Amino acid sequence: MCGIVGYIGKKQAAPILLDGLKKLEYRGYDSAGLAVRADDGEVSVVKAKGRLARLAERTENGALLQGTCGIGHTRWATHGEPSEENAHPHKCMDGSVTVVHNGILENYKELRDKLVRKGYTFHSQTDTEVIANCIDYYYKKYKLGPIDTIARFMMRARGSYALAVLFADCGDAIYVARKDSPMVIGAGRGEMFIASDVPAILKYTKRVYYIENYEMARITREGVEFYNIDREPVEKHAVRVKLDENAAEMGGYEHFMIKEIHEQPRAVELTLNSYLNGEYVDLSECKITDKFLETDEIVVVACGSAYHVGVVMQYVVEKLARIPVRVELASEFRYRDPILGKNALIVAISQSGETADTLAAVREAKARGIRTLAIVNVRGSSIAREADKTIFTYAGPEIAVATTKAYSAQLAVGYLLALEWARIGGRVDDVQCAAYIAELRNLPQKIEKILENKQSVQKFAAENSTVNDVFMIGRGVDYAACLEGALKLKEVSYVHTEAYAAGELKHGTISLIENGTLVLGVLTQSDILEKTASNLEEVKTRGASVVTVSFEGAKIPAEAEYAFTVPGTHELFAASLTVIPLQLLSYYVSLQRGLDVDKPRNLAKSVTVE
């Protein structure tokens, strides 16, 4: 979740490091720091609690740190409270080793106790300072060089990590290592770059190397050498990243979140067009065959918004293909010893492709010999590389912590897979499939139409931004959309919001309804619309203010203080449209409350640790 950057070349490192860290702000952080090696070998460290602007101010935008080699970090606190003392980079006791670290060292107490017995002292509460001292200990004990030293540490470390290390007496290199936490290495001309995520280095290079689990690298101005944990050289080739650096810029919008909300028509269109061939779904680009998709059990594993995509898929796939689907929180799946049939298919959904729990679920499935299919937005990511097959979404870089366009692109892939499973199972014929695809092709323009009329949502948000409790209710696909809408509102506006299947209100939740409670009902499923409307009437009689989201022209048998409408579509695809006003509501309420829309408190874009 934290961010790592590194640079070695002929230019001044600090400004480049600050620029890279700024590109990684979306990952979430509470402090930041830089370490730059001067020409005389002295490594200077500057750290600051709070936003990156404070670090830039302390270093005069990097001018106070002279040197052409350095590493930087934005920290999201795990061990030790947010403070300058606990911020990275960390040095070992005598200052000869400097480390930045993403991840969690689970056995840090055990290693710390050992180091204390060896005479080491500590100045922070972090596991990263333990790493710095541990590396220093092995370096001086065995005297076999940085690669051997880091390998010895890796063999004793438990947990997850991406490391960038400077050694005082190895001034011509930066050393890195990885287990579970992401890291890429960028190659320029006479300069090299390190980053947790590609957007941090897109401005400088599009040629990157991906370092795998339990691998290390020695990075110099001239290039990079890779090693496995047995210290053996590993051959790798750089790949070219097909991303536009401007895609990660604000582009005239006030926030990334509203920019990305408006990019959804394009994201959905690109994703659909990548896998449609006329009136047919075509997954040949992903080398996915009918045989691979044949299954009698689908298990979706995901976290957060990706989990909500899975809930929509459950309704759509079971309705169209009549294959049983269960949706699992990846954080639970990995620990509960799930029962999986030999012909099961695991579908892992992750925007970043680095979500720790989802990655662990993929590995667990593969260890059991179960097929894995990933839906991922980032090429070269860990899940994309480790799953048996991967379908990429075409949302482009998503910077705001609260996902919007990636969620919509994932939904599009979910619909296409549902149609493929239905076709393979003989549940839809060519004519039916063509009709469904025609409906899907119309989704982008319908999303655009909703966005063109966003003023009604903006007005409602301005009038209701002080609300303290919100409940979102629906049935079927509408309930799945409510799950995502509730998450959006709570994560960016900090309003207590819960989503419930409407039929569950009487099983306890209705006791929370009182004057001033806002209840938002999503009603697009015609066969159960009247039942949800009845639930809305029940909460209204208990003092709740009622808002509805429905298809244009639909007759809703419930009186509401406010009604949002979206263009009609096939009811199975409704979540792609009803979620848009819910996203807008979240954005505008957050704006009205004066909050940091793109970087909500305590949250990170990519959850790469447990």
Tens of pLDDT, residue by residue over 278-314, are: 889 999 999 999 999 999 999 999 999 999 999 999 9
Give φ, ψ of 119 to 5 degrees.
100, 5
**Which of 65-74, 242-251, 283-292, 479-488 has the weakest average pLDDT?**
242-251
Identify the pLDDT of residue 540: 85
- Model-level pTM? 0.81
The answer to whether 261 and 305 have CB atoms below 8 angstroms apart is no
- pLDDT band (50, 70, 90) for residue 245: low
User: Of 211, 201, 207, whose CA–CA distance to 248 is shortest?
Assistant: 201
- Is residue 286 assigned to a domain? yes
- pLDDT band (50, 70, 90) for residue 244: low
Mean pLDDT of 538-559: 85
Give me the CATH number covering residue 221.
3.60.20.10
Q: How many CB atoms lie within 10 A of CB 453?
A: 13
The percent of residues in the chain predicted with pLDDT above 70, rounded, is 97
Q: What is the pLDDT of residues 487-509, one digit of tens each?
A: 999 999 999 999 998 887 777 77
Identify the pLDDT of residue 148: 97
- Is residue 609 assigned to a domain? no
Distance CA 494, CA 601 (A): 9
- pLDDT band (50, 70, 90) for residue 559: confident
Sign of CA dihedral 276, 280, 284, 288: positive
Identify the pLDDT of residue 260: 95
**Which of 118-132, 542-556, 563-577 has the weakest average pLDDT?**
542-556
Known catalytic residues?
2, 605
92 and 165 both lie in a single domain: yes
- Is residue 601 assigned to a domain? no
Q: What is the pLDDT of residues 401-420, one digit of tens each?
A: 899 999 999 999 999 999 99
The answer to whether 216 and 223 have CB atoms below 8 angstroms apart is no
Would you say residue 510 has pLDDT above 80? no
Would you say residue 119 has pLDDT above 60? yes
Q: What is the residue whose two structure tokens read 């709740």?
A: 544
192 and 329 both lie in a single domain: no
Last residue of a domain, one of 392, 423, 441: 441
- Is residue 607 assigned to a domain? no
- pLDDT band (50, 70, 90) for residue 542: confident
Sign of CA dihedral 428, 434, 435, 441: positive
Identify the pLDDT of residue 199: 84
Would you say residue 565 has pLDDT above 60? yes
Identify the pLDDT of residue 515: 83
- Is residue 519 assigned to a domain? yes
* Bridge partners, 500 (sequence order): 473
The percent of residues in the chain predicted with pLDDT above 90, rounded, is 73
Would you say residue 36 has pLDDT above 90? yes
- Is residue 606 assigned to a domain? no
Q: What is the residue whose two structure tokens read 């929370």?
A: 512
The answer to whether 378 and 208 have CB atoms below 8 angstroms apart is no
Please report how the helices 430-441 and 405-424 are oriented relative to each other, as an axis angle in degrees rounded to 10.
Answer: 170
Distance CA 45, CA 89 (A): 7
Identify the pLDDT of residue 285: 92
Would you give the distance in Å from CA 3 to the centre of its chain?
13
Q: Which two tokens stand for residue 204?
A: 């400088």
102 and 220 both lie in a single domain: yes
- b/e string for 544-563 if b means 16 or more Cβ within 10 A? bbbbbbbbeeeebebebebb
Would you say residue 571 has pLDDT above 70? yes
461 and 568 both lie in a single domain: yes
Range of the domain at 492: 450-596
The three-class DSSP label of residue 344 is strand
Of the two residues 511 and 301, the one the predictor is more confident about is 301
Identify the pLDDT of residue 267: 96
- Is residue 539 assigned to a domain? yes
Mean pLDDT of 45-66: 91
Mean pLDDT of 123-134: 93
The answer to whether 276 and 381 have CB atoms below 8 angstroms apart is no
470 and 529 both lie in a single domain: yes
203 and 60 both lie in a single domain: yes
Would you say residue 24 has pLDDT above 70? yes
The answer to whether 215 and 177 have CB atoms below 8 angstroms apart is yes
Q: How many CB atoms lie within 10 A of CB 423?
A: 20
Give me the CATH number covering residue 333.
3.40.50.10490
236 and 285 both lie in a single domain: no
Please return the burial class of 265, using the count of CB atoms within 10 Å of its CB with bins 0-12, 13-18 and 19+. Answer: buried
310 and 424 both lie in a single domain: yes
121 and 233 both lie in a single domain: yes
Q: Say which DSSP state 107 is in.
A: T
Domain count for the chain, please give it.
3
Last residue of a domain, one of 396, 424, 441: 441
Last residue of a domain, one of 441, 467, 485: 441
Would you say residue 1 has pLDDT above 60? no
Dmax of the chain from CA atoms?
A: 78
Would you say residue 608 has pLDDT above 60? no
- Is residue 66 assigned to a domain? yes
56 and 193 both lie in a single domain: yes
Total residue length of the chain: 610
Mean pLDDT of 61-76: 91
Would you say residue 113 has pLDDT above 60? yes
* Average per-residue pLDDT for the chain: 91
Would you give the distance in Å from CA 556 to the centre of its chain?
37
Identify the pLDDT of residue 25: 79
Q: What is the pLDDT of residues 141-189, one digit of tens each?
A: 999 999 999 999 999 999 989 999 999 988 789 999 999 888 999 999 9
Of the two residues 542 and 423, the one the predictor is more confident about is 423
Distance CA 296, CA 341 (A): 9
Q: What is the pLDDT of residues 197-242, one digit of tens each?
A: 888 898 899 999 999 899 999 999 999 999 999 999 999 999 998 7
87 and 44 both lie in a single domain: yes
242 and 255 both lie in a single domain: no
Sign of CA dihedral 392, 393, 396, 401: negative
